[in-house]
Amino acid sequence: MSGIDFDIAHLFAGSLVLVSFLELYQDRLYALLNVYAAHALVLAASVAWQAFIQDAPHLYVTAVIALVFKAIVIPVTLHRLIVRLGIHREIEKVVGVGAAMLAGIGLVALSMVVMLRVTQTADPLAREDLAFALAVVLLGLLMMVTRRNAVSQVVGFMSLENGLVLAATGAKGMPLVVEISVAFSILIAFIVIGIFLFRIRERFDTIDVQALDRFRGERR
Amino acid sequence: MTPDETAFNALMGVLVIPAVAAVLLAVLPNYRATARLNVAATTLTLLCALSLFFAKPAPGVYFLVDDLNNTFIVLTTFVGWTTSMFSASYIGHELDIGRLTPRSVRFYHAMYQVLMFAMNLALIANNIGLMWVAIEIATLTTVMMVGIYRTHEALEAAWKYFILGSVGIALALFGTILVYMAARPVVGEGLNAMVWSVLVTRAGSFDPALLDVAFVFLLLGYGTKVGLAPLHAWLPDAHAEGPTPISAVLSGLLLNVALYALLRFKMLLAANAAALAPGPLMVALGLLSLLFAAFMLYRRRDIKRMFAYSSIEHMGIITFAFGMGGPLANFAGLLHMTMHSLTKSAIFFAVGHVAQVKGTQRISDMSGLTVTHPLLGWGLILGVIAIAGLPPLGIFMSEFLVVSSTFARAPLLALILVFGILVAFGALLLRLNSIAFGEPRGPVGKAQASYVPMFTHLALVLVAGIYMPRAVVTWFQNVAGLLG
């Protein structure tokens, strides 16, 4: 593999981690959705590049799905949903921006240490991709636990899935079955979430998960 | 048709029948007819699954049937069958009191069959990617069923389950990708590098470090679905707020299916001498779940929630047994898993009807059950005695085997195990006393219950505790040997 191919793939994967950090400190829903769209855009570029250098045309399908579905359809739909439901635009966080960023840096360091150490025999592109992918996955998880708002938890989950797609496309020659399933699962997940949002709206006037927290199971 | 083709058709039967039934049930309007159709579909699926005992198709790239998953499939389809009978009377009552609408019942029945389809697919999948997809489908269907009552609590439980379950399967997918990465240099690119039966023969030359990391992710991911502490937070809510037939299949089946996925990967790691031993990790998580759940049992006020914690406890014991490994502990683990599935679903059958006649799930509002509803009350007593591990029922025997096989190899662990089991035992009997005896409370109306599924399960557990046919013992020994 020539140097430039590797560098570009590296650049995209690294950018994905960077955009994950951007998501981490957004405190308004619209801004968060925009950043998520950028996240998906970077993913699409990264997957397309992998398709090109691996000479694996089926990966272009994954790239198109990322571009159309994740970068355009989902953010637009969620945006409309927020307008229609009149949700609070501010995101309530469990921990402050500073603490979340520090935790994020820690997680990225952790994934580098873990993945680079165990994949010494794998080819360099795949192993760095995996390290970045794990970082994106962990940052997505972090976002889910530091937010209280249902929409931003969902965005956290979707960026987590982006990390998985990055890992799956970085693993050279991984059967298409899995790529489709990843894309498909996002679709299903989104439908489920849509139903949930509407159902929650049906009964209550907020989708702030905290407002649903009255129930602790034993006290009633 | 050649024998192999017949076997393959039977294999397809366990997938196609639920899939077709799901479509039919989604469109047919009449409740009574659809409830019967639901039972008919699960009966046919069970027959197909049973026929796999006699003839197994040769493993392909997507599907594999061996003695290990054959046991799981038969258990799954059997409990699926009895639960569909229980479900018919349970859902009928929910319709009568208006908790469910005819539309949501249609949705419920369709989802029930989709769940059966997904669990069977996960069990027969030979491709680790396909297995992951199937478990994901199973999770999503149960999420929707947990939220079906659309109450505040049900929605919150479903949301929690959805978020935690998704994170779990996301981690499992990452682990699956890592396994592929480990296999690729040895097996070569493409489909073969995800076929379990190929992987297990070549696993010896995989990169052990990559396999180790992969297993940690798979353990955390599928472990969330098994309900192992500290990843269990979704489980009590999902059990308490969904319809009771779903609590029965969740506890009795879905947890097993996730554990099965874990076992497949454990076998993969066992085939590689340089990889880390998966046993101690599973032993640690299993013991943690057991102890945690045993203490949590004391503070439960909701009856379904209490038995959900009891499921965590028993999944802990089963994971512990498989983690110990070896022919005897594996045998005990398999037996315990079977007994737990049968007993726990029987308990949920009883609890479902009890909650319906009493109109509540609060333990304090349902005392004196043996006086007001003798048949249900004694059924529940028998179930709780079984699940608490009293002789002569089946769970006593399997727990005894787990404990005695552990004493021989790691006495200290066995002490912790016994302590956990005794703590849980105390909690269950304490609660049982107030539910079954004492001053009768709540409505005394006649129960429209289906007793057959409950007593069938309990009878099987009782018989297994007293006398196990030689053939069954040999079968379980054979499967335990496969697990290594």
A211 contacts chain B (CB < 8 A): no
Asked if A133 lies within 8 A of B207 by C-beta distance, the reply is: no
Phi, psi values for residue B359, rounded to 5°: 70, 20
Which residues of chain A fall below pLDDT 70? 1-2, 85-90, 122, 176-220
Contacts of A114 in chain B (CB under 8 A): 213
B156 contacts chain A (CB < 8 A): yes
pLDDT of residue A218: 46
- Examine residue A68 and state whether it is found in any structural domain, yes or no: yes
Q: What SS3 state is found at B319?
A: helix
Asked if B163 lies within 8 A of A153 by C-beta distance, the reply is: yes
- Examine residue A217 and state whether it is found in any structural domain, yes or no: no
Q: What is the DSSP letter of A86?
A: T
C-alpha A48: how far from chain center: 17
Place of tokens 């005392």: B367
CB pairs under 8 A between A and B: 134
Contacts of A209 in chain B (CB under 8 A): 159
| pLDDT one-digit tens code per residue, A32-60 | 989 999 999 999 999 899 888 888 888 88
Which residues of chain B fall below pLDDT 50? none
**Domain residue limits at A145:** 3-212
| pLDDT one-digit tens code per residue, B335-373 | 999 999 999 999 999 999 988 888 888 888 888 888 888
Contact indicator for A151, A28 with CB cutoff of 8 Å: no
Contact indicator for A95, A146 with CB cutoff of 8 Å: yes
B298 contacts chain A (CB < 8 A): no
pLDDT of residue B58: 85
Residues B270, B283: Cα–Cα separation, whole Å: 15
Nearest CA in chain A to B237: A217
Asked if B193 lies within 8 A of A188 by C-beta distance, the reply is: no
* CB environment A78-91: b (16+ within 10 A), e (fewer): bbebbeeeebeeeb
Q: Which residues contact B426 (CB under 8 A, 6 or more apart)?
A: none
| Plot region of B190 (φ>0 → left; ψ -120 to 50 → alpha; else → beta) | left
> For residue B338, which of B263, B252, B248, B227 has the smallest C-alpha distance?
B252
- Examine residue A219 and state whether it is found in any structural domain, yes or no: no
- Examine residue A164 and state whether it is found in any structural domain, yes or no: yes
Residues B43, B40: Cα–Cα separation, whole Å: 5
Residues B325, B409: Cα–Cα separation, whole Å: 11
Domain boundaries, chain B: 279-484
- Examine residue A220 and state whether it is found in any structural domain, yes or no: no
pLDDT of residue A153: 79
- Examine residue A26 and state whether it is found in any structural domain, yes or no: yes
The predicted complex's ipTM stands at 0.85
Phi, psi values for residue B188, rounded to 5°: 100, 165
Nearest CA in chain B to A212: B156
Nearest CA in chain B to A162: B170
Give the count of domains, chain A.
1
Asked if A181 lies within 8 A of B129 by C-beta distance, the reply is: yes
Asked if A118 lies within 8 A of B210 by C-beta distance, the reply is: yes
Residues B408, B195: Cα–Cα separation, whole Å: 37
Taking only residues 347 to 406 of chain B, the set having a beta carbon closer than 8 angstroms to any beta carbon of chain A reads none
Phi, psi values for residue B360, rounded to 5°: -155, 160
Mutate to test the interface with A, among B155, B239, B309, B431 (most CBs of A within 10 A): B155
* CB environment B128-155: b (16+ within 10 A), e (fewer): bbbbbbbbbbbbbbbbbbbbbbeeebbb
Q: Which amino acid is at B133?
A: V
